[in-house]
A and B are shown apart, each in its own frame.
Chain A
Amino acid sequence: MNADRDIVGIVGSTFFFFVGATVFAMSFEMTPMAAMFPRTVGAALALLAAFYIFAALRGYRGEAVENGSTVREQAEGLGRRIVLLVTMIGWALLFPVIGMFVTSLAACIILMFTGLFERVSPGRLAIQLGAVLALVVCFYHLMNSILNIPMPRGILF
């Protein structure tokens, strides 16, 4: 692996190239007015991505202003990151089925432990669990009763 080359950038651009090409191809099934933008933007995306792949293969690598993380940095704490993502995905998919309150409480407790780095005494842990419970109860109440947003109850609550 050549450290000078923007490998992840190439991978990302390949993804975008296919997105652009797909959008371009799909635009031919639309009415003329609705197809105009998808065709133009899809083609532009595919061309830009192809150009970037070409440039990156020849050793170009720019530095985006708004880019804080690299692959190496992201490898740190990867386990926790994945726990967080899995929790969020599970939360989003399950709350309409099981109910907002129960899933949120469960997810918040998991995330609390995910965000816990130092050892804490049982007393402090109890306080923190209480705080999480209070948080979920308060927000649930705010949404459900005050702002009239119908929270999904699902099979549990």
Chain B
Amino acid sequence: MLKKLGVLVTVATVLWATGSALAFPDKPVNYIIPFNAGGESDISARLQQPYFNKITGEDLIIQYQAGAGGAQAWSVLNSQPGDGYTIMGTNLPHIILQPLLQKPGYETADLTNIYMFHFTPDALLVRADSKFETVQQVIDAAKETPGALTVGGTATNTANHIANQIFSNMTGAQMTYIPYTGTGATIPALLGGEVELLWGYTTVAAGQGDKVRMLAVAQDERHPLFPDVPTFKELGIDMVGGAYRGIAVPKSTPEEVRRQLSDIIGKINADPEFIKEMEQAGFAMLNIPYDGMEAFMSERQKIYEEVARQLGSLK
């Protein structure tokens, strides 16, 4: 009797396993955003939502678990069920810098990233009526009176803070970095004249239109939405970076499901309509699938470790 039951269970498991392998996903997938609604992570997830449905026929349910700059959600990711129906947004440099500088309750290696799908390139912004027209003018002014120029950005030890540090390393320009609570709070600070410059992203420029001027973007090539804005590289400053966003799954998720999810996100990323919508909002596309993740992560890890050491020594 017991044996029979055992066989039955095995058969059922095998059937269920193959079944799910064939038709993953066959129910809605929960997509946890470790930040508050309305930010870049949320908007890009909202843009993905309809395409996920178009490709898989299932819904993508977006949930928010904000707290501690994302650490609250990332520290519990591995305790979620690993069946592929729970996925979580991840952000670089956050998931590398937080374990380096604090004890956030997780390690970078704990997060199983399956796809990095876009990034928001760092950008140096000024008000439209600012006297600064080029990056060189900023560098000159900053060198003349070190620390007198104020540049805003989001919080401390973040992508913006790092951008400021790298910029300063490469050009020798010293500016006072003023941290704000979030991207939302930095914009009035720039527009209202509290800070002269702002480390932001291309998304900020896309949202603010002609009220701000972008001096340069930290991308390999110019952003399609801003064909007139030079890259830092063109100006001889080797800066490529920003906030990278991807998707991770709990560690217990089987290899096969990880690949399937990676494929689905890749398909969404290849949809020309999706690309158009993302670029309209100021995002830059990025395609790092599951197989390329290790190389990408170790490359970024090296860069951030270097900067983290400097930020740490700043204390």
Q: Is A123 an interface residue, CB under 8 A from the partner?
A: no
Q: How many Å lie between the Cα of A149 and that of B30 in the bound state?
A: 10
Chain A nearest CB: distance from B314 CB in Å?
Answer: 9
Q: Is A150 an interface residue, CB under 8 A from the partner?
A: yes
Q: Is B61 an interface residue, CB under 8 A from the partner?
A: yes
Whether the Cβ atoms of A148 and B315 lie closer than 8 Å is no
Chain A window 140-157, contacts with chain B (Cβ cutoff 8 Å), 1 for yes, 0 for no: 000000001110000000
Whether the Cβ atoms of B315 and A150 lie closer than 8 Å is no
Q: Is B150 an interface residue, CB under 8 A from the partner?
A: no
Contacts of B30 in A (CB 8 A): 148, 150
Q: Is B56 an interface residue, CB under 8 A from the partner?
A: no
Chain B window 30-74, contacts with chain A (Cβ cutoff 8 Å), 1 for yes, 0 for no: 100000000000000000000000000000010100000000000
Q: How many Å lie between the Cα of A49 and that of B61 in the bound state?
A: 50
Q: Is A69 an interface residue, CB under 8 A from the partner?
A: no
Q: How many Å lie between the Cα of A31 and that of B315 in the bound state?
A: 6
Kindly count the residue-residue contacts between A and B in the assembled complex, taking CB atoms under 8 Å apart: 7
B contact patch SS: strand
Name the residue of chain A whose CB is nearest to the CB of B65: A150
Contacts of B63 in A (CB 8 A): 148-150
Residues of chain A in range 119-157 having any CB-CB distance to chain B below 8 Å: 148-150
Interface centre among A31, A148, A149 (most CB of B within 10 A): A148
Contacts of A150 in B (CB 8 A): 30, 63
Chain A nearest CB: distance from B216 CB in Å?
Answer: 28
Chain B nearest CB: distance from A6 CB in Å?
Answer: 39
Name the residue of chain B whose CB is nearest to the CB of A149: B63
Contacts of A148 in B (CB 8 A): 30, 61, 63
Contacts of A31 in B (CB 8 A): 315
Q: How many Å lie between the Cα of A148 and that of B315 in the bound state?
A: 42
Name the residue of chain B whose CB is nearest to the CB of A31: B315
Name the residue of chain A whose CB is nearest to the CB of B81: A153
Contacts of B61 in A (CB 8 A): 148
Q: How many Å lie between the Cα of A150 and that of B79 in the bound state?
A: 13
Contacts of B315 in A (CB 8 A): 31
For this complex, 7 residue pairs linking A to B, each with C-beta atoms less than 8 Å apart, are: A31-B315, A148-B30, A148-B61, A148-B63, A149-B63, A150-B30, A150-B63
